[in-house]
Amino acid sequence: MFTLKRSKFYLGFYKSIRIFANPFLRLLYRVEIVNRNNSFVKHDKGLILCSNHSSSLDPIMMCTYFPEPIFFISKAELFKNRFVRSVLQFFNSFPINRSGFPRESIKMSLKILNRGNVFGIFPEGTRSANGKIGEGREGIGLVAYLSKAPILPMAVYNSKKDPKRKKSKKDVFSKIRVIFGELIITENIISAYPKREAIEKITDITMNNIKMLYCRLN
């Protein structure tokens, strides 16, 4: 069952999974972490962790290489299967309707952040079909505006293989790179602009940061 309060046992078990997954992923995908120190962030008002999204590996990379448990939103269709629902709830996911960013999801996002938790969002709203970074949806700007939580941008490079490229053994073990950016203090933006403009600014700044980080890995 999805819950905002986790026991010490859960936190210990979650940490042990991360410890096990770390060397496994490094061996399989030769994972390289850039600016790892940026991931150790103090966040009294909660933290929004944002990344590009081109593969199902992206949330796995986030959970494994970010030092704290992350709360996610996932498409509601995934929760229809009982087993998948249990796994998603264990890893702090709650359902969202893909047609938008409904009021209930916003309320849950704010509850997560108000408790000082880390909320993981893929601002594009869905996986990129071609691996390129798309436009950000304003859900990230709205949640940041209402919560005043800072945003930590990150990027995952090479988690999606090029479908037009001929497959080889090298592709199976191709290197995935993860980079953490600098903290975006949303309160500074909120205090400088009216609501509508602040939401747009937060969305644009977040996506620009993710794109710049991605380009550094390319």
Distance CA 110, CA 144 (A): 9
Mean pLDDT, to the nearest integer, of 72-85?
A: 83
Q: Is residue 61 within 8 Å of 135, Cβ to Cβ?
A: no
* pLDDT value at residue 100: 54
Mean pLDDT, to the nearest integer, of 53-61?
A: 90
Q: In this predicted model, which residue has the larger pLDDT, 209 or 89?
A: 209
| Residues forming beta bridges with residue 93, ordered by sequence position | 72
* pLDDT value at residue 2: 59
What long-range pairs does 85-92 form, CB within 8 A, spacing at least 24?
Answer: 89/1, 89/2, 91/63, 92/2
Mean pLDDT, to the nearest integer, of 164-168?
A: 46
Q: Is CATH 3.50.50.60 the right assignment for the domain spanning 8-160+169-217?
A: no
* pLDDT value at residue 162: 45
Q: Which H or E run contains 73?
A: strand 70-75
Percent of the chain topping pLDDT 90: 54
Q: Is residue 61 within 8 Å of 49, Cβ to Cβ?
A: no
pLDDT above 80: residue 60: yes
Q: Is residue 14 within 8 Å of 116, Cβ to Cβ?
A: no
Tokens of 118: 């880390």
> Tell me: the pLDDT tens digits for 1-10?
557 778 888 8
| Residue listed under structure tokens 């399989």 | 28
